[in-house]
Amino acid sequence: MSKRTILCYGDSNTWGAIAHGGRHDLNTRWPAVLRNTLGDNFWVIEEGLGGRTTVFDDPIEGTHKNGARYLLPCLESHQPIDLVILMLGTNDLKHRFGLLAEDIARGAEKLIQIIKHSNCGPDYDTPQILLMAPPPIGKLTDLSHMFLGAEAKSLELGQAYQAVAERQGVYFLDAGQHIRSDDTDGIHLDAQAHIALGKVVAKTVLNIFATT
């Protein structure tokens, strides 16, 4: 059996950013834990970018942070892809965007639609899609002004994302049911959270492929 290819498309919490600087090592980041847990029959591609939004241009950090801009080239670069795992939305909570949880969920929905129309799955079909709601914001420290008012909205993302997943007929996982953000800065994940998330995602992935 050929390897199944999984693309993990996300922001700094997929890239593996450590609160206040640095990056978790190659075997600690949740996509790496996913890869190591799944074993040799799977190829896991880490595609995380700090500051990446769902579909919104960042007027300060740059238009390249818009997740919709790079998604299709990324899909075409790595095709055929069996499964795309999306975990974006935390950066959409920044105060400068002024978005509601429903707006952010609709941004994620646009990304799902791009994947569905990409023909980048096996035999030019549609890849399977797992939409992951990011964990709620934790205790904000030096990022409190940037994410002013984000805590309450972040608690609404799980339900809003689940509604999108049901509407689009894709798989769903609420990361906030399994991990929490590091209170060092309230945004990023510590090593324990990465490891826990990678194992939960691996179990979910195996269930997806058991039914497809």
State pLDDT tens for residues 146-174. 999 999 999 999 999 999 999 999 999 99
State residue 212's pLDDT score. Answer: 67
Cis peptide before 80 (omega within 30 of 0): yes
Model confidence at 49, pLDDT cuts 50, 70, 90, reads: very high
State residue 2's pLDDT score. Answer: 80
Contacts (Cβ under 8 Å, ≥6 apart) of 147: 93, 94, 95, 137, 140, 186, 187
State pLDDT tens for residues 53-93. 999 999 999 999 999 999 999 999 999 999 999 999 999 99
Q: Give the residue among 136, 62, 69 at the shortest CA–CA distance from 107.
A: 69
CA–CA gap between residue 115 and residue 55 (Å, rounded): 13
Q: How far is CA 3 from CA 38, 80, 112, in A?
A: 11, 11, 23
State residue 7's pLDDT score. Answer: 98
State residue 1's pLDDT score. Answer: 57
State pLDDT tens for residues 195-212. 999 999 999 999 999 976
Read off the CATH number of the domain in which 49 is found. 3.40.50.1110
- Give the strand pairing for 4-10 and 171-174: unpaired
State residue 176's pLDDT score. Answer: 97
Average pLDDT over residues 3-26: 97
Cβ count near 2 (within 10 Å): 9
Q: What are phi and psi of 66, to 5 degrees?
A: -70, 115
Average pLDDT over residues 104-112: 98
CA–CA gap between residue 172 and residue 208 (Å, rounded): 10
CA–CA gap between residue 22 and residue 81 (Å, rounded): 30
CA–CA gap between residue 94 and residue 46 (Å, rounded): 24
Q: How far is CA 176 from CA 37, 82, 193, 207, in A?
A: 21, 25, 10, 19
**Cβ atoms of residues 59 and 96 within 8 Å:** yes
Range of the domain at 167: 4-210
State residue 83's pLDDT score. Answer: 98
Domain count within the chain: 1
CA–CA gap between residue 211 and residue 160 (Å, rounded): 25
Percent share of the chain, pLDDT over 70 = 99
